[in-house]
Structure 1
């Protein structure tokens, strides 16, 4: 007998509701959004420019090329984008050496996902050198895979980072939940077809499009993540 169920639906029906959890890093798992802004303010001060506070919401959550590019255009600073990116990464890494604070609920959630053997990926617009340093604080054992912004041709807000993570984990994006703190990251996750939980850090995120918005990772647990996929 020929089945009337589409092949994709038939494949999904026999698989677990939640196949993977894909997590952003800065501002979502670790309290480092201030670190990036401090690095940007410091480097541009050395170049003779003062950054406007309202620019912070423009650059938060974006890839280095976009954030640094915006600040270069806004200040007309005399430095090449590539050199500026190197200096920003170096200044950020110097700040990391003084310690990194995990966001409330992050350690508990990572421990829970690992205990239940849920595949996870750390998906960040930050460069590989930053991710590798941060994994010392987060614990490499908590992540099945990691995706860095400088390893992709297109990063957030494009869907590529989350599509790449899902593919490597062998998961259907529709059965993945993304955790993000910025609209840039939320847009990336939604464009990839994932369920998205937004945990706003620097700038607010509205509830449009059926996305889930919480005030802290303390509101997120495995049961909730499973329910989002089952409900969808």
Structure 2
């Protein structure tokens, strides 16, 4: 069996491409407190990588008396305001890796549970054409940790999940990527990724190369062949 080549790299956004998780947390606490509730750092960490509709229902349980889509719009507006004020904080090595993938002719997709309007705002601030496809939270048939967002990205790119590497920073995101069949790399930020199924764990993208991505992809393909033949 011939090992498939690396055809595409699929990126999570919040916490993986850009360090926006603190922005979300800054938006969450005032929202809950405005409705008479309290919101802890531990509760905020529990939402990392979760779909926005699921997160909104948790805010309702915490006492926020707003509709699901009202909560999503409120939080998205607040995070976009913070981005406009402070700029987009790319994670170490992320922009450089995107540029290297572009130079190598490897296709890319952004797979995020944030709303499309926020995803496009972030992408528009990159000074080159970084992504071929965007699958956002309002595009996904089912949110992470379901595999749907990654499967939709593969379909939009015209590639098989066995041909891609996914990069994630959250357990929910990793479970989504792994379930899709992609070779999945965890780059933790706010929460531990131990036990989430990553095929490789990197402390950072800084100093990493396209060849490193190819190596993870090849190792995963080899493991898959071994499992099939066992």
User: Does 1:61 find its partner at 2:61?
Assistant: no
Compute the TM-score of the two structures, normalised by the length of structure 2. 0.90
- Distance in 2, matches of 1:208 and 1:30, equals 21
Measured at CA, do residues 121 and 208 of structure 1 come closer, stay the same or move farther in structure 2, by a change above 3 Å? closer
Aligned with residue 173 of structure 2, among 169, 185, 188 = 185
Q: Is the 8 A contact 2:123 2:130 kept in 1?
A: no
Specify the alignment match of 1:218 in structure 2: 206
What is the 5 A alignment of 1:84-123?
Answer: 84-98=71-85, 99-123=87-111
- Distance in 2, matches of 1:41 and 1:111, equals 36
What is the 5 A alignment of 1:114-153?
Answer: 114-139=102-127, 141-153=129-141
By how many angstroms is 1:43 displaced?
A: 1.9
Measured at CA, do residues 53 and 210 of structure 1 come closer, stay the same or move farther in structure 2, by a change above 3 Å? closer
Compute the TM-score of the two structures, normalised by the length of structure 1. 0.89
Report the structure number with the largest CA radius of gyration. Answer: 1
Specify the alignment match of 2:67 in structure 1: 80
- Runs of 4 or more, structure 1, over 4 Å off, are 207-210
- SS in structure 2 opposite 1:146? strand
Structure 1 gaps, min length 5: 1-8
Deviations 1:96-137 (A, max 9, x none): 101111000011101100011101001101111111111122
- Distance in 2, matches of 1:55 and 1:216, equals 25
User: Does 1:50 find its partner at 2:38?
Assistant: yes
- Distance in 1, matches of 2:212 and 2:169, equals 17
Q: Decide which moves more: 17-26 or 208-217.
A: 208-217
Kindly report the root-mean-square deviation, in angstroms, between the aligned alpha carbons of the 2 structures. 1.7
